[in-house]
Amino acid sequence: MQCVFGKDNSHLSSIACDKCHDVLDYRSKLSWNVNVKHLTRLISLNKSMITMYFPGIGICAITGMAALFLSEHYGAPAMLFALLLGMAVSFLYQQDTSCKVGIEFTGCHLLRAGVALLGLRVAFGDLVTLGWKTGMMLAFAIVSTIAIGIGLSKLMGMQKRFGALTGGAVGICGASAALAISAVLPTDENKERDTLLTVVGVTALSTLAMVVYPILVEYAGLDSTGASIFLGGTIHDVAQVVGAGYSISEQTGDFATLTKLVRVAMLMPVVLCFVLLIKRANANTTEGTDIPSFPSFLVFFVILMTLNSLADLPSFVIETAGALSQFFLIVAITAIGMKSNLGKLVEVGIKPILLMAMETLWIALLILVFVLYFL
């Protein structure tokens, strides 16, 4: 055998061997001390992060679960309950409590996670099933609704970005689209207020459409395919599409949901276009503008949508991802409600609601004409 110094033990004295043991003992103690120091720092860092983020995330999660409970028992949209409950406890954010950092985290990062998980709800095959003509019509409806929103907001004396936000929410998938588009818009003092107004408006209009549109379908004499495309192509939120479709028939409910999911699939290219347009508009601006970077949640959205398209995923995976996405979005909108200022909402008046109502009327008339005369 050789000692620490690389020599044969038979040629070393007992003193040299004792020295070897001392060196080995010293190295062992040094390694232990270093590992303990790193472990202590890691535990301290984790405790610090838990102390910083957990109160805010916890209160948002509890409030979100309360919103889901109320939604299941009273039949109203969970998003609406989440907003109202969030605003009711807004003092937790406004008064600069220990919850503030966690609320900020929830309203930003859990929001993006919820949008990314929407990718598992759609697949490329949905476009093939729906047909190219209907797919093109839905794309035109979304783009034209956003364009009309921007134009009307300018005429009504509001910011064009608010028109883009409401137009995207009405055209694509309601509150989920509003949250996704808001996540990539530059930050300013009215961003939270505009997002809150949009979510409230599209949720209320979507609920109204869920009740009124099936009656309109019967009055217009639409067949099952026409009714499905009309309901799936015009109602803002997925849940309301499901409610309206299955109130007519199971076949209508299935195809209306499929039509709606194709609109959801268009969320990614629309948000990406917003990012590119904002970057181009602010290419020469160096100060005063928060230019968004490429959103990573869109990358995950595309990856999950591709995975769902190419692989036959178990139903429980799709259902779990859908439930988790809904919960994340509800918790995020709760955080946005907590960050809201009711005084600012009152200041804007009725114009935003009128804008969203006109956008809703536009996309409804457009899809109805398509179903009646071009389908």
Residue with the two structure tokens 């093939």? 128
pLDDT in tens, 324-367: 988 998 898 888 888 876 666 666 678 899 999 999 999 999 99
Question: What is the spatial distance between Cα 83 and Cα 100, in angstroms, rounded to a whole number?
Answer: 17
Q: What angle do CA 234, 271, 105 make, to 5 degrees?
A: 110
pTM (two decimals):
0.77
pLDDT at residue 23 in the model: 46
Distance CA 52, CA 172 (A): 36
**Higher confidence at residue 264 or residue 94?**
264
Q: Is the pLDDT of residue 34 over 90?
A: no
Asked if pLDDT for residue 210 goes beyond 80, the answer is: yes
Of 42-51, 95-104, 150-159, give the lowest mean pLDDT range: 42-51
- pLDDT single digits (tens) 84-132: 898 888 888 877 778 888 888 888 888 888 888 888 887 888 777 888 8
Work out the number of other CB atoms within 10 angstroms of the CB of residue 49. 11
Boundaries of every domain in the chain: 54-373
- CB atoms < 10 A from the CB of 333, how many? 34
Least confident of 32-41, 56-65, 205-214: 32-41
Q: Where are the strands (E) in the chain, listed by range?
A: none
In the chain, % of residues over pLDDT 70: 81
Distance, in Å, from the CA atom of 369 to the CA atom of 375, rounded to the nearest integer, reads 9
- The larger pLDDT score, comparing residue 130 to residue 161, is at 161
Hey, which residues does 8 pair with through a beta bridge? 2
Query: How does pLDDT run across 228-249, given as a tens digit for each residue?
Result: 999 999 999 887 898 888 888 8
How many whole angstroms separate alpha carbon 246 and alpha carbon 243? 6
CA dist 357 to 134, 138, 296, 336, 361, Å? 24, 19, 32, 23, 6
Distance CA 279, CA 294 (A): 10
First vs last Cα of the chain: how many Å apart?
A: 89
Amino acid identity of residue 343, one-letter, is G
Cα gap 164→348, rounded to integer Å: 17
